């Protein structure tokens, strides 16, 4: 927990610069500083003055992140209904819907982890692109395999039911 708090307040942005807005001397520091800059996390000392450090989030070049976040949450809540419905009314349509939903949910979760932890400033410009490409390849293969399994065999829900009978 303490490590998470320290990392949230880490003063360096992705490109390694420190962004500050105001400089206070030690005598001017008060609790109003934390009210004015709640995202600062902690204060850094700079030549005798205390500087509130405000981390800057750099967004990717394109895309609507709010819409993607909303779609991820809608899919997560939708899975709460899709999974039981697939077992209550087993059919090929429900199996396809379940396969697409599970693969999308897994893909978005792993993609967020890959983007967060395999960063270009740590691994260089090539490895993050290779990791994302590999993730897309695995997700496409998983979706193709689940669709083929539903089309050519008993289907996802029936396979799980057969496994439970063992």
User: Which domain covers residue 80, as residue numbers?
Assistant: 65-165
pLDDT in tens, 100-159: 999 999 999 999 999 999 999 999 999 999 999 999 999 999 999 999 999 999 889 999
Residues contacting 85, CB < 8 A, separation 6+: 94
Assess if residue 147 is contained within a domain: yes
Model pTM?
A: 0.61
Q: Do residues 48 and 70 share a domain? A: no
Assess if residue 57 is contained within a domain: no
Let me know if 63 is exposed, middle or buried by CB neighbors in 10 A (0-12, 13-18, 19+).
exposed
**CATH number of the domain residue 90 falls in:** 1.20.1300.10
Q: Do residues 77 and 127 share a domain? A: yes
């Amino acid at each position: 927990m303490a490590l998470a708090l320290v990392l949230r307040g880490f003063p360096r942005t992705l490109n390694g610069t420190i962004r500050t807005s105001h400089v206070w001397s030690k005598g001017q520091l008060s609790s109003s500083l934390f009210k004015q800059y709640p995202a600062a996390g902690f204060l850094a000392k700079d030549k005798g003055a205390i500087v509130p450090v405000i981390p800057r989030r750099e967004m990717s070049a394109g895309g609507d992140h709010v819409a993607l976040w909303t779609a991820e949450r809608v899919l997560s809540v939708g899975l709460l209904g899709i999974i039981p419905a697939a077992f209550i009314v087993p059919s090929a349509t429900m199996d396809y819907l379940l396969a697409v939903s599970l693969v999308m949910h897994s893909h978005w979760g792993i993609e967020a982890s890959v983007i967060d932890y395999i960063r270009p400033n740590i691994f260089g410009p090539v490895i993050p692109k290779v990791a994302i490409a590999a993730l897309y390849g695995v997700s496409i293969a998983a979706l193709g395999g689940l669709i083929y399994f539903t089309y050519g065999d008993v289907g996802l829900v029936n396979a799980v039911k057969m496994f439970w009978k063992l």
